[in-house]
Structure 1
Amino acid sequence: MKVAMIAITEEGKKVAQELARSLKGSRVHFLSRRHSLKGMVKKIFNRYDGIIFIMALGIVIRVIAPYLKNKYVDPAVVVVDEIRRYAISALSGHEGGANRLAAQVASILGAEPVVTTASETKKRLIIGVGCRKGTTQEEILKAIGQALKEGECSIDGVRCVATIDLKGNEPGLKEACLALGIPLRTVPFDLIERFNGPYQRSALVKEKIGVEGVSEPCALLAGRRTKLIVPRVKRGRVCVAIAMED
């Protein structure tokens, strides 16, 4: 996917540069006060498969409006705020791939993906993952695949992958989520520590990282009204559990 990123502030430029390091085939366009955002959008709107704007959603809506045709030909548009809270699928979510691009952006930045298309809002599965330092993308993908198979679940029904915040920057995990096009959500350490819900507790995990579990509590805590449907599955250096939102 050929992607352009447009930033209009120094903070936005930093976000764009971070994304560019992970998104192959992407290009950063930084506009100083001397340049016209409208002019840039007019120039590149139909030259890219996707455009990521690092700025306010309202600005984006106004600037792209004159160039919109239909969901089958318009590029995917994702909007990200400068402080990396949200990655919003704003245009061509399903057909153009903005939903998947928003998920990828969210995984890279640790942001919350915002997707409103009906097919995405119906996704109810949350995959909890715990892994050792240095675990590879391939190991994690195989463990996720095994858990999905055991639960007779489809990857198409997965809304996000969740892990403890201590593992949020684990390269293999981020790469796995990027490959799947599924956002990675981190659960705060103290939230897991206080969690009294039913999950398999491990003294060994407690000794190593300070909480009694990762995959199961993360799967349960990352959604609303969740229930565990696939208890912890261990494969090598990875543990995976799956929860479903009610």
Structure 2
Amino acid sequence: MIALVTLSATGAELAATLHRRMAGSALYIHSAVAPAPADAERFERSADLLARLFATVDGIVFIGPCGVAVRAIAPCLQDKYSDPAVVVLDVGARHAISLLSGHEGGANDLALTVANILGAEPVVTTTTEAEKRIIVGVGCRRGCSAEAIAAAVRVGLARAGTDLTQVRYLASADIKADEPGLAAAARQLKLPLRLIASEAIRNCTQPFNEQALVKEKVNLPGVAEPAALLAGRRTRLILPRIIHNQVTVAVAREE
């Protein structure tokens, strides 16, 4: 179970959005916030609530100041193998921070899930993940198989002179959120899937090759190249889009 905890009315709106999209989640909203969803549990002190939740949930998404979250969970900490995943999200939905139990507890994956739903930036500081600098952007037709996507990714990486061990994200547009083949390919390749908001792609200021056909079909100037560029920081394309078995792949590297 994932606990969605917030102290503010703005945070409650974000929590409600996450609750609708995340199976097995539960809402916890401070008693001072009005109104609140009927299925939300109310609480008075975040420290008391988090102490109770710490031993019973798989993960906590705390929507509010990072300092408040740190002070509240500090007395509860045991070790990275037993502590639940903790993610902190600011009320502006700008950053989803993997705060605690990033790798072993699943906070890195939870931060990515939250970021994909809200269009936030996932913040992962785990050394083994932060060292990876390659992002593979993917565009595919509806119903494309996981095998075709995975094969195209491998071909693209080979042409770019790199491999799966260096890949930080598989990236695509948010309109592909319900594409089962893409999600399955990410699992098959053991890569996190980052979904970029369509509006961010339309407003992308980095140079990429715009595609008239993509614009006509999904109202986006492109998918693979802008997704690869926008999924990281200080990125540049090291492999412009290629098409392999009807799957479009582009590779970017963070500098």
- CA 1:126–1:40 in 2, change beyond 3 Å: closer, same or farther? same
Query: For 1:123-156, what per-residue CA distance to the aligned partner results, in whole angstroms no more than 9, with x for missing partners?
Result: 2121223356xx35xx374453122221246656
Equivalent of 1:184 in 192, 195, 208: 195
Over the aligned positions, Cα root-mean-square deviation in angstroms equals 3.0
Contact conserved, 1:101 with 1:181, CA < 8 A, in 2?
A: no
Partners of 1:11 and 1:57 lie apart in 2 by: 16
Query: How many percent identity over aligned positions?
Result: 41
How far the C-alpha of 1:245 sits from its partner, in A, is 2.8
User: 8 Å contact 1:12–1:55 — kept in the other structure?
Assistant: yes
Q: Aligned equivalents of 1:216 and 1:243: distance in 2?
A: 8
Aligned residues: 233
Alignment equivalent of 2:174, drawn from 168, 171, 184:
168
Verify the 8 A CA contact 1:233 1:241 in the aligned structure 2.
no
What displacement does 1:221 show? 5.1
Identify if the C-alpha distance between structure 1 residues 45 and 190 changes in structure 2 by more than 3 Å, giving closer, same or farther.
Answer: closer
User: Residue 47 of structure 2 is aligned with which of 15, 32, 38?
Assistant: 38
Q: Secondary structure at the match of 2:248?
A: strand
Among 119, 128, 136, the alignment partner of 1:127 is 136
1:232 and 2:237 matched: no
- Note the residue ranges of structure 2 that are not aligned, 5 or more in a row: 33-42
- In structure 2, C-alpha distance between the alignment counterparts of 1:103 and 1:18, rounded to whole Å: 15
Q: Does residue 1:64 correspond to 2:70, yes or no?
A: no
CA contact (8 A) 2:237 2:250 kept: no
Q: Is the 8 A contact 1:159 1:183 kept in 2?
A: no
TM-score after normalising by structure 2:
0.76
| AA in 2 matched with 1:185 | I
- How much does 1:190 deviate? 3.9
Distance in 2 of aligned mates of 1:106 and 1:216: 20
CA shift at 1:93, angstroms? 0.8
Q: For structure 1, list consecutive stretches of 5 or more residues without a partner in the other structure.
A: none
Q: 1:184 to 1:204 in 2, by over 3 A?
A: closer
For normalisation by structure 1, the TM-score amounts to 0.79
Kindly indicate whether residue 56 of structure 2 is the aligned counterpart of residue 47 of structure 1.
yes
Q: Is the 8 A contact 1:228 1:243 kept in 2?
A: yes
Task: Tell me which moved more, 202-211 or 108-117.
Answer: 202-211
